[in-house]
Amino acid sequence: MCDVCGCGHHHDSKSPSTSHDHPPFAKGGQGGIIGETRIIDVNESLLKSNESAAISNRAHFDEKGIFSVNIISSPGSGKTTLLEKTIEALKNDINIGVLEGDIETDLDAERIRKKGIPAVQLTTGGACHLESSLVHKGFHELEHQLNGKKLDILFIENVGNLVCPSFFNLGEHIRVVLVSVPEGPDKPLKYPKAFKTSHVFIITKSDLVPYFDFDIEKVKKDALSINPFLNIFVISAKTGEGLKEWFDFIKKQKHD
Amino acid sequence: MHEVSIAMGMIDELTRIARENNARKVITVKLKIGKMSGIVIDSLQFAFDAAKLEYPLLNSTAIFIEEVPLIYECNNCKNTFKTDDIYFPSCPGCKSYNLKILSGEELHIENLEVEV
């Protein structure tokens, strides 16, 4: 058997084409086809399996009256710190739950639990983004921890990565993208899909602006040119700048 | 490398469709990938070819990928135009930025050829 295409002919290694007298894909040809062949029209998204699980996640959140937020950014932009600050400020007013996505370790979920909030760590074991089936599993685990207590807001902290998470809808109500000042001002232009698919853009570590060439107005303008509907916040967890506006925004979502 | 996850999702879908149609194997798959889909076609091809070997229905499947150009329609003057500019395209006719994407974001399985 020919080990190039499995056709049953012998290839002459010097002139493979001359000893190959069957047309490609004919009966008995490539892949050893023996039955009838036919074309099936599909016309569906390559992301369909993730999308179907995302739709069921969203239905589940809606049924429970939970507003869900998917947070994406590069590693080190301050996703977990933003969550810690948000929890400290709002935990007496609203019930918050957190799903923490990481490639490895339970470190971030532990940071959140220290704030007295139920958190489940989702470790992807290598994958650079969360997918909706993993969120589904994690959410059931979180419900188990909640023991009947109602949630108002579910934060899903994605794996630190500005590329891949933007492809995978998790069923969230809004997607929030973070860029920290030290990362540089070119992020919206270099990673347009993350900004195109998000609803909120947060510039973090604004206290560092004096030390970096980071023109906040230009970055906002670039982001808005990719997605004119972005709601933009400029914050510093260190000085507290802009945090109140973000907290108010989240508090409002509870009633929506 | 979201292409690996996308290839794995594609394998699930192809397996499902092949089984529903009582196919013995999938011979070819035709995909449409838009220029602005964010997919690296070579990575998707590589991931699929590496992963398919474990699936008897798919282990000899060849994928054919059509790259779909980025085409906009201007909401201002209704001109349609093709561009490679994924960031700030403007209408070559009236310079407006108020544009609608007609194609280029595709990430689709168009059809498959199966042996039944």
What residues in A contact B6, CB-CB < 8 Å? 46-47, 167
Distance CA A129, CA A180 (A): 19
pLDDT in tens, A1-15: 334 334 444 444 333
We report the CATH number of the domain holding residue A158 as 3.40.50.300
Same domain, A90 and A117: yes
% of chain B exceeding 70 in pLDDT: 98
pLDDT in tens, A204-216: 999 999 999 999 9
Q: Closest approach of chain B CAs to the CA of A248, in angstroms?
A: 32
Q: The domain containing residue B54 runs over which residues?
A: 2-69+104-115
Same domain, A159 and A246: yes
Q: Closest approach of chain A CAs to the CA of B32, in angstroms?
A: 9
Q: How many domains would you assign to chain A?
A: 2
Distance CA A235, CA A122 (A): 27
**B38 → closest Cβ in A40, A48, A167:** A167
- Residue B96 inside a domain? The answer is no
Same domain, A23 and A85: no
Q: The domain containing residue A160 runs over which residues?
A: 49-255
- Residue B48 inside a domain? The answer is yes
- Residue B74 inside a domain? The answer is no
- Residue A115 inside a domain? The answer is yes
HSE (CB half, 13 Å, CA atoms) of B29? 31
The answer on pLDDT for A223 being more than 50 is yes
The answer on pLDDT for A41 being more than 90 is yes
- Residue B19 inside a domain? The answer is yes
What residues in A contact B2, CB-CB < 8 Å? 128-129, 163-164, 167-168
Please name which of B38, B51, B69 lies closest in space to residue B4, comparing C-alpha atoms: B51
Same domain, A18 and A54: no
Which is higher by pLDDT, A88 or A125? Answer: A88
8 A C-beta contact, residue A197 and residue A175:
yes
The answer on pLDDT for A242 being more than 90 is yes
**B108 → closest Cβ in A30, A38, A44:** A44
Same domain, A204 and A136: yes
Low-confidence stretches of chain B (pLDDT < 50) are none
Residue A46 to residue B31, Cβ atoms within 8 A: yes
Q: What pLDDT does residue A110 have?
A: 93
Report the residue of chain A nearest B26, measured CA to CA: A37
Q: Closest approach of chain B CAs to the CA of A68, in angstroms?
A: 23
- Residue A59 inside a domain? The answer is yes
Same domain, A135 and A33: no
Q: What is residue A245's three-state secondary structure?
A: helix
8 A C-beta contact, residue B28 and residue A31:
no
Q: How many domains would you assign to chain B?
A: 1
Report the residue of chain B nearest A165, measured CA to CA: B2
The separation between the first and the last C-alpha atoms of chain B, rounded to the nearest angstrom, is 34
Q: How many CB atoms lie within 10 A of CB B43?
A: 15
**B86 → closest Cβ in A34, A36, A192:** A192
Q: What pLDDT does residue A2 have?
A: 36
Residue B5 to residue A44, Cβ atoms within 8 A: no
Q: What is residue B4's three-state secondary structure?
A: helix
Residue B110 to residue A31, Cβ atoms within 8 A: no
- Residue B24 inside a domain? The answer is yes
Strand A37-45 to B107-115 pairing = antiparallel
pLDDT in tens, A226-240: 888 999 999 999 999
Q: What pLDDT does residue B99 have?
A: 83
Distance CA A256, CA A23 (A): 62
Mean pLDDT of chain B: 91
Q: How far is CA A226 from CA A199, A222, B12, B93, in A?
A: 12, 7, 33, 21
- Residue B85 inside a domain? The answer is no
Contacts of B2 (CB under 8 A, 6+ apart): A128, A129, A163, A164, A167, A168
Q: Closest approach of chain B CAs to the CA of A49, in angstroms?
A: 6
Q: Closest approach of chain B CAs to the CA of A48, in angstroms?
A: 7
Residue A45 to residue B107, Cβ atoms within 8 A: yes
What residues in B contact A135, CB-CB < 8 Å? none
Same domain, A81 and A175: yes
Residue B115 to residue A34, Cβ atoms within 8 A: yes
- Residue B81 inside a domain? The answer is no
At A133, list the tokens: 């089936």
At B97, list the tokens: 């930025």
Please name which of A119, A123, A122 lies closest in space to residue A109, comparing C-alpha atoms: A119
- Residue B28 inside a domain? The answer is yes
We report the CATH number of the domain holding residue B22 as 3.30.2320.50
Taking the alpha carbons of A13, A15, A18, A22 in that order, is the dihedral positive or negative? positive
Chains A–B, number of C-beta pairs less than 8 Å apart: 102
Complex prediction ipTM: 0.83
The answer on pLDDT for A27 being more than 50 is no
Tell me the pLDDT band of A255, cut-offs 50, 70 and 90: low
Q: What pLDDT does residue A6 have?
A: 40
pLDDT in tens, A176-195: 999 999 999 999 988 988 99
Mean pLDDT to the nearest integer, A76-84: 97
